[in-house]
């Protein structure tokens, strides 16, 4: 498509906005995706490219400025004290190199330390602990407010109802991912097939669909799990360790599940070798991931870099090629 046909491009832009809105509603609200992620990602990229060429077309309600989907009205709404954002994505090494350059330039440093971890393909959740007790759990929703799924979250055995240890802050919002182990997913789908019930398309949709049940007795029967990887509200703020990696180590002491596949990385070369190493292990992992995530390790440096509208500037998701994408070989569609 050429920018010498502005009317057509404007039409295409309007089409992408409405088409992506339709796909997002099916994915985030109904837990029932209409197309593979790679197809959604391709259309989303096209939208971003058009906006890059025509920034004057961007409005506050463009999908590029928003996070996720709306909350289901059936659940009570929870306003996030700290918004739950998305992540900027990189598909090419060059985008990762540009991310490192922006971080170094923004911080006036020759070298930035990153925390590398897995990008779990599940559903983001915020767990609010007050004086060590789990009092509320909320989905990301549109980032500003989500769904109150406390009763359902309490059925997940991996999530402690009480934190352990001596140094527990008055308020701690633990952010992380609810997901399903592949083995559990396969068993659950086999049982559903036997009972003549609907099977889930993949573990991500199974996790999201199971958590967003109105009857927590149904959620209790679903094999959900959880990894912690982030932080929301905190009181007192003086409790905060200096780095992301140190925070995750404290989480382990508090009794929270944290994935052990993580590493502190000091250079672009180290980042790329982490990406390649995890990529080669991906098939053998017991859960689905769709990439790795790099976060500037120091919280002071994270605060200096700040946020753009829907994502932090201090973090990047480096995606793996889609497993579900359809590739045409000799005119035949094959799953890769
Ligand atoms: P995202 O999934 O690309 O990134 C943000 C999310 O990553 C967070 O909300 C969190 O849930 C998750 N995450 C996993 N591991 C993490 C970690 N270690 N640290 C921090 N966050 C971590 O962003 P998004 O805005 O939720 O959605 C985009 C994704 O959803 C794309 O992959 C897209 O393909 C898919 N999607 C697909 C469809 C479809 O129709 N198939 C529609 C909408 C979105």
Show me where the domains of the chain are located: 6-65, 77-326
Q: Which of 45, 8, 18, 67 is nearest to 310 (CA)?
A: 67
Nearest atom in ligand 1 to the alpha carbon of residue 119 is 15
**Is 86 assigned a ligand-binding role in the annotation?**
yes
86 CA → ligand 1 middle, Å: 7
Judge residue 260's burial from the number of C-beta atoms within 10 Å of its C-beta, 0-12 exposed, 13-18 middle, 19 or more buried: exposed
**CATH number of the 77-326 domain:** 3.30.470.30
Nearest atom in ligand 1 to the alpha carbon of residue 311 is 5
Q: What is the DSSP letter of 25?
A: I
Nearest atom in ligand 1 to the alpha carbon of residue 41 is 34
Judge residue 14's burial from the number of C-beta atoms within 10 Å of its C-beta, 0-12 exposed, 13-18 middle, 19 or more buried: exposed
pLDDT for the residue numbered 324: 55
**Is 287 assigned a ligand-binding role in the annotation?**
no
- Measure Cα distances from 141 to 34, 38, 66, 174, 213 in Å: 19, 22, 11, 16, 15
pLDDT for the residue numbered 191: 92
User: Catalytic site residue 73?
Assistant: no
68 CA → ligand 1 middle, Å: 8
Classify domain 6-65 at the CATH topology level.
Answer: Helix Hairpins (1.10.287)
Instruction: Give the Cα separation of 106 and 104 in Å (integer).
Output: 6
pLDDT for the residue numbered 69: 72
221 CA → ligand 1 middle, Å: 25
Instruction: Give the Cα separation of 30 and 139 in Å (integer).
Output: 14
119 CA → ligand 1 middle, Å: 8
User: Tens-of-pLDDT digits for all 336 residues of the chain?
Assistant: 444 445 699 999 999 999 999 999 999 888 888 998 889 989 999 999 999 999 999 988 888 888 877 777 789 999 999 999 999 999 999 999 999 999 999 999 999 999 999 999 999 999 999 999 999 999 999 999 999 999 999 999 999 999 999 899 999 999 999 999 999 999 999 998 999 988 888 999 999 999 999 999 999 999 999 999 999 999 999 999 999 999 999 999 999 999 999 999 999 999 999 999 999 999 999 999 999 999 999 999 999 999 987 899 999 999 998 765 433 333 333 332
Which residues have any ligand 1 atom within 6 Å of their CB? 23-24, 27, 33-35, 37, 40-41, 68, 86-87, 89, 117, 119-120, 124, 140, 177, 229-230, 290, 293, 317
Choose one of 87, 121, 201 to mutate for the ligand 1 pocket test, by most ligand atoms within 8 angstroms of C-beta.
87
Choose one of 126, 177, 257, 314 to mutate for the ligand 1 pocket test, by most ligand atoms within 8 angstroms of C-beta.
177
């Amino acid at each position: 498509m050429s920018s010498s046909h502005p009317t057509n491009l404007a039409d295409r832009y309007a089409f992408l906005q409405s088409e992506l809105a339709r796909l997002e509603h099916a994915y985030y609200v109904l837990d029932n995706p209409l197309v593979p992620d790679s197809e959604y990602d391709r259309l989303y990229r096209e939208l971003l490219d058009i906006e890059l060429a025509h920034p004057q077309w961007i409005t506050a309600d463009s999908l590029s400025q928003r996070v996720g989907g709306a909350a289901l009205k059936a659940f009570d709404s929870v306003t996030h004290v700290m918004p739950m954002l998305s992540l900027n994505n990189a598909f090419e090494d060059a985008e990762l190199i540009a991310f490192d350059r922006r971080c170094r330039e923004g911080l006036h440093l020759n070298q930035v330390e990153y925390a590398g971890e897995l990008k779990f393909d599940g559903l983001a959740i915020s767990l609010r602990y007050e004086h060590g007790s789990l009092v509320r759990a909320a989905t990301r929703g549109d980032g500003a407010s989500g769904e109150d799924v406390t009763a359902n979250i309490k059925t997940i055995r991996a999530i402690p109802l009480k934190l352990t240890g001596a140094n527990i802050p008055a308020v701690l919002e633990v952010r992380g991912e609810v997901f399903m182990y592949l083995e559990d997913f396969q068993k659950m789908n086999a049982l559903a097939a036997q009972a003549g019930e609907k099977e889930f398309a993949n573990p991500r949709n199974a996790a999201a669909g199971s958590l967003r049940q109105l009857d927590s007795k149904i959620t209790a029967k679903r094999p959900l799990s959880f990894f912690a990887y982030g932080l929301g509200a905190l009181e007192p703020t003086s409790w905060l360790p200096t780095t992301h990696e140190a925070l995750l180590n404290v989480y382990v002491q508090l009794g929270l599940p944290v994935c052990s596949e993580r590493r502190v990385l000091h250079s672009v070369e180290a980042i790329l070798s982490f990406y390649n190493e995890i990529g080669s292990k991906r098939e053998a992992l017991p859960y689905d991931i769709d990439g790795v995530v790099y976060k500037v390790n120091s919280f002071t440096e994270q605060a200096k870099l700040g946020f753009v509208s829907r994502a932090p500037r201090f973090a990047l998701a480096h995606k793996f090629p889609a497993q579900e994408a359809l590739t045409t070989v000799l005119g035949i569609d094959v799953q890769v």
